[in-house]
Amino acid sequence: MNKIIDGKAVAAQVKAQVKSGVEQLAGRGINVGLAVIIVGENPASQVYVRNKKNDCAEVGITSFEYALPESTTQQELLALIEKLNADDSVSGILCQLPLPEHLDEKAVIGAISPEKDVDAFHPQNVGHIMIGDYTFLPCTPAGIMELLSHEGISVSGKNCVVVGRSNIVGKPMAMMLLKADATVTICHSRTKNLAEITSRADVLIVAVGRAKFITADMVKPGAVVIDVGMNRGADGKLCGDVDFDAVYEKVSRITPVPGGVGPMTRAILMKNTLSSKR
């Protein structure tokens, strides 16, 4: 049995559906556009923005890129967001994080119109996620739920453990699992007896940003393991938060790094951008 969950393949299916939806809207004279703002020259952010631009081209979404200098002021950035909020050709707005230290990320996220907040970071959209009544879902957790669904893995009644409590992944992931009737435990840096908790998980989702943090003794035999991490190992190669080679033998399904959750995050961004126009 192939235990690997192929995120690239599932992402390709999602993007094909988005492309069809974009073409249908184009036939009615409706354009779908995504505005991406990047401030400064963070190399990782530049790679992400370039990938998003390529994804837009693949599915037929118009890409608007705003590359601003490191010296951009809060007032200038908020003025740009206000302009994009009012622009009907812009369906979705994404401000690449992290921002330079002199800029207020919370204020920037709050300035983006909730109807164009395709990252689902605006407090209004976060509130909708909490009560299970939403238009947009954060891209990474939504991508994970899509992967589980595609693989026929139901979380209903299952013991699901999320390692990581970030606003971007951990917290919304827990809310989505709860909505799908899972029993959810959130672990973090202050959690005691972490291995004892993770080793009881039917579904283990790891988003801590520490290379090969989850070892084989921390995983239940037959579990489903979703690795959100993207790190560099001691050998310089990309690796996840899970010790893949050691854990692989124990699990029923596992996502690789790269090629697992990452492609899904970008595919869901395209899906959210299309949804904003409907």
Q: What is the DSSP string of 227-257?
A: E---EE-TTS-EE-SB-HHHHHTT-SEE--S
pLDDT of residue 234: 83
Residue 1's closest CA among 248, 227, 256, 212? Answer: 248
The answer to whether position 123 is within a domain reads no
Say how far apart CA 90 and CA 85 lie, in whole Å.
Answer: 8
Same domain, 86 and 187: no
Whether residues 77 and 167 share a domain: the answer is no
pLDDT tops 90 at residue 277 = no
Whole-number Å distance between alpha carbons of 144 and 253: 13
In a domain, 119, yes or no: no
156 and 255 part of one domain:
yes
pLDDT, greater one: 238 or 197: 197
Number of domains in the chain: 2
Residue 51 is encoded by which pair of tokens?
């990938």
Domain CATH for 69: 3.40.50.10860
234 shares a domain with 200: yes
Separation between Cα atoms, residue 278 and residue 117, nearest integer Å: 14
Chain centroid to Cα 246, Å, comes to: 26
Which residues are registered as beta bridge partners of 162?
A: 186, 205
Note whether residue 274 is domain-resident: no
Q: From the candidates 15, 55, 96, 271, which is the catalytic residue?
A: 96
**d(Cα 154, Cα 170) in Å, to the nearest integer?**
19
Question: Do 43 and 106 have their domain in common?
Answer: yes
Quick: pLDDT tens for 142-156.
999 999 999 999 999
Do 255 and 211 share a structural domain? yes
Strands 203-206 and 33-39: unpaired
Per the CB < 8 A criterion, the answer to whether 121 and 168 are in contact is yes
User: pLDDT digit string (tens) for 22-38?
Assistant: 999 999 999 999 999 99
Q: Are residues 143 and 222 in the same domain?
A: yes
**Cα end-to-end span (Å), the chain:** 40
Q: Is 134:125 a contact under the CB 8 Å cutoff?
A: yes
Specify the amino acid at residue 232.
R
| pLDDT > 70 in the chain, percent | 99
C-alpha Rg value of the chain to the nearest Å: 19
pLDDT value of position 58:
98
Tell me the CA distances in angstroms from 162 to 57, 64, 144, 212, one per residue in order: 34, 35, 12, 16
Look at the alpha carbons of 270, 275, 276, 277 in this order and tell me if their dihedral is positive or negative. Answer: positive
Judged against a pLDDT cut of 70, whether residue 91 lies above it is answered with: yes
- Selecting among 117, 119, 202, 227, the annotated active-site residue is 119
pTM of the model: 0.95
246 shares a domain with 150: yes
Identify the domain containing residue 151 by its residue range.
139-261
Residue 22 covered by a domain: no
In a domain, 12, yes or no: no
Is 106 known to be catalytic?
A: no
CA separation for the pair 202, 215 (Å, rounded): 16
CATH of the domain at 175: 3.40.50.720
Angle at 12 between CA 6 and CA 14, to 5 degrees: 105
For residue 148, the surrounding DSSP H or E stretch is: helix 139-150
pLDDT band at 240 (very low <50, low <70, confident <90, very high): very high
Distance from C-alpha of 180 to C-alpha of 77, rounded to nearest angstrom? 38
Residue 133 bears catalytic tag: no
Query: Is 96 a residue of the active site?
Result: yes
